[in-house]
Amino acid sequence: MDLKLKIWRQANQNSKGELKDYNIKNVSADSSFLEMMDQLNEELIEKGEDPVVFDHDCREGICGMCSLHINGEPHGPENATTTCQLHMRKFKDGDTIFIEPWRARAFPVVKDLSVDRGAFDRIIQSGGYVSVNTSGNTLDANALPVPKADADEAFNAATCIGCGACVAACPNASAMLFVSAKVSQLSLLPQGKVEAKDRVLNMVNQMDLEGFGNCSNVGACAEECPKEISLENIARMNREYLGASLASSK
Amino acid sequence: MSITGLFLISFLIVHLLGNLQLLDLSVEGQEKFNVYAKFMTTFPLIKIVSYVLYFSILFHAIDGIALARQNRAARPERYKSWKPNTNSIWASRNMGLLGVIILAFIIMHMSQFWYTMHWGPIGTDAQGNKDLASVVITTYQDGTAGMIFVLLYVISMAAIAFHLWHGFASAFQTFGLNHKRYTPFIKKLGYGFSVVVPLLYAIIPVYILMAKN
């Protein structure tokens, strides 16, 4: 198929970007979206032009590295799918495709379609961990009884790959779905309960420091999430934050 | 936003129950309404609650504006292609706009009735009470101006309906109240509330206008 691409080109964080038009021919319907981008870059390199920078890694939909705001939606038109798992058969011959980076103050553009998602790393560093005994007497994981329902909920939250589609989709550029998934996956389990109060306070505080917007319960994040993280996590984090604010020793 | 929002929702119920008395346009009905209006402006407990209400409206508006500014700042560069209707409803994304319409309505509404009730000019009815019922009826029956006020009233109620369509359930989510068992009920209750309550409000001025002839 032949396509018309409108791709955001931006030399670096400080320069002003713009949409540039590209025509690409003979794209296989079986290729993935990123393979189509590879094909475009091959052509650009052969012509001696600067290839389009975009993030990617595993291309299996599990690493959270790929992004791209495609035709007005994070990860494109298909539900519960990352950009790398999106296939060109979802588009028609002659389509015009807008390709933009995630847009948020907290995610500055590095180049073209690649954004710096270091804000997520700093949020994790602020509390997204459990302190464990590493003296050699580590308790066997199965020795701690965990109710099946809790284990399932924690696992569902833990499927968040931290891609940032929730921020990209949110009209407020809020990171609440990501942070609440990370808070939930730990606080639901006995190992995570010990530090639960400080964790939620620290992670929410870091989220605000990074300059993400506020949650107004629009729900676009959960709709666009490639891993279908539920809004129940945000409610759980709100509950924990309220409780921790009132009861924290800090 | 959620605490003041839920309080304002409870106010909507009380205010509606009082104002539905205006559907009785007989002399006795009007006098009954004036007795009620006097009670609402003089009874000490109601006075205290009314100050809480004024504070809630102001806080809800100021906090809303502050949050909207932060949210705008969180995305300095907008998307060129943006299809929000695929993932969310219009009302949820335009609570600020709807809020501004509602605030403008509240200012108009209070200057028409609340201000007049307190500082006049206002006549008295046969029982010697301030005749607020006549003020209301005159406002909505007064020729072209009356028709415009009725229209503005109905538009504002539509804005409140959309505001509540998102806001009602959203307030519970903010408190962390989200559960498979009761969240579907809260959502349905919110949708019902956001349609029925503004509709009943809107009926009052429309009925008064139509009763003119």
How far B128 CA lies from chain A's nearest CA (Å)?
49
DSSP string, A164-195: -HHHHH-TT-B-HHHHHHHHHHHHTSHHHHTT
Q: Are A183 and A199 in contact (CB under 8 A)?
A: yes
Confidence of residue A135 (pLDDT cuts 50, 70, 90): confident
pLDDT, tens digit, 9 for 90 and up, residues A12-37: 999 999 999 999 999 999 999 999 99
- Give the pLDDT of residue A231: 97
Q: What's the distance, CA B212 to chain centroid?
A: 25
Stated pTM of the model = 0.95
Per the CB < 8 A criterion, the answer to whether B163 and B99 are in contact is yes
pLDDT digits (tens, 9 = 90+) for A33-71: 999 999 999 999 999 999 999 999 999 999 999 999 999
The amino acid at residue A212 is F
Sign of dihedral through CA atoms B89, B95, B98, B102? positive
Q: Where are the domains of chain A?
A: 3-111, 118-247
Q: Is the pLDDT of residue A138 over 90?
A: no
A140/B172: higher pLDDT: B172
Fold of A118-247: Fumarate Reductase Iron-sulfur Protein; Chain B, domain 2 (1.10.1060)
Q: How many whole angstroms separate alpha carbon A148 and alpha carbon A211?
A: 37
Element containing residue A98 per DSSP (H, E): strand A96-100
Contact A1, A92 (CB under 8 A): yes
Interface test with B, best of A79, A217, A245 (most B CBs within 10 A): A217
- Residue A153, both tokens: 């909920």
DSSP assignment letter at B203? H
Residue A141: pLDDT band with limits 50, 70, 90: confident
Residue of B nearest to A209 (CA): B74
pLDDT, tens digit, 9 for 90 and up, residues B106-117? 999 999 999 999
| Closest to A235 (Cα-Cα) out of B180, B35, B204 | B180
Using CA atoms, how far apart are residues B32 and B52, in angstroms rounded to an integer?
A: 26
Q: Which one-letter amino acid corresponds to residue B128?
A: G
Nearest-angstrom CA–CA distance, A103 and A100? 8
Round to whole Å and give the CA distance between B131 and B112: 14
Distance from CA of A224 to the nearest CA of B (A): 7
Higher-pLDDT residue of A132 and A190 is: A190
In chain B, where the domains are located? 2-210
Q: What is the pLDDT of residue B118?
A: 92
State how far the Cα of B133 lies from the Cα of B40, in Å rounded to an integer: 14
Count of beta carbons in the 10 Å neighbourhood of residue B39: 12
Any idea how long chain B is?
A: 213
Among B82, B98, B175, most A C-beta atoms within 10 A, so best to mutate, is B82
**pLDDT of res. A144:** 87
Judge whether B201 and B16 are in contact, CB under 8 Å: yes
Contacts of A218 in chain B (CB under 8 A): 88, 92-93, 166
Rounded to whole angstroms, how far apart are CA atoms B81 and B83? 7
Compute the Cα dihedral for B38, B43, B103, B153 and give only its sign.
Answer: negative
What mean pLDDT is predicted for residues B8-16? 97
Mean pLDDT of chain B: 96
What type of residue is B107? I
Q: In this predicted model, what pLDDT tens digit does every residue of B21-77 receive, in sequence order?
A: 999 999 999 999 999 999 999 999 999 999 999 999 999 999 999 999 999 999 999
Distances (CA, A) of A92 to A27, A83, A89, A224, B29: 11, 17, 7, 22, 67
CA neighbor of A212 nearest in space, from A240, A172, A178: A172
**Residue A33: which residues within 8 A CB-CB, separation 6 or more?**
A68, A70, A76, A83, A84, A86, A87, A88
One-letter amino acid at B118 equals H
Contact A172 B74 (CB under 8 A): yes
ipTM: 0.93
Residue with tokens 């959203």: B170
3-class state of residue A115 by DSSP: strand
Q: What's the whole-number mean pLDDT along residues B126-138?
A: 94
Q: What is the pLDDT of residues A181-237, one digit of tens each?
A: 999 999 999 999 999 999 999 999 999 999 999 999 999 999 999 999 999 999 999
pLDDT in tens, B175-184: 999 999 999 9
Report the pLDDT value the prediction gives residue A134, as an integer from 0 to 100: 80
Look at residue A250 and tell me whether its pLDDT is greater than 70: no
pLDDT at res. A137: 80
Whether the predicted pLDDT of B213 surpasses 70: no
Name the nearest CA neighbour of A100 among A79, A71, A120, A77.
A71
Instruction: Give SS3 for A200.
Output: helix
Q: Give me B88's structure tokens.
A: 């969310």
Domain B2-210, what fold?
3 helical TM bundles of succinate and fumarate reductases (1.20.1300)
Q: What is the pLDDT of residues A69-98, one digit of tens each?
A: 999 999 999 999 999 999 999 999 999 999
Exposure letters B160-188 (e unless 16+ CB within 10 A, then b): bbbbbbbbbbbbbbbebbbeeeebeebee
- Which residues, listed in sequence order, are joined to residue A70 by a DSSP beta bridge? A73, A99
Average pLDDT over residues A116-121: 98
Of A19, A105, A231, the CB nearest to B80: A19
Residues in chain A: 250
The percentage of chain A sitting over the pLDDT mark of 90, rounded to a whole number, equals 92
Is 80 exceeded by the pLDDT of residue B134? yes
B178 interface with A at CB cutoff 8 Å: yes
CA dist., res. A230 & res. A238, Å (int)? 14
For B49-198, list the strands marked E by DSSP. none
Q: Measured between CB atoms, which of A212, A220, A239 is closest to B176?
A: A239
A3-111 carries CATH number 3.10.20.30:
yes
Are A230 and A219 in contact by the 8 Å Cβ rule? The answer is no
Residues from chain A that touch B170, judged by Cβ atoms under 8 A, are 216-217
Overall average pLDDT of the B183-187 stretch: 96
Mutate to test the interface with A, among B2, B3, B65, B75 (most CBs of A within 10 A): B75
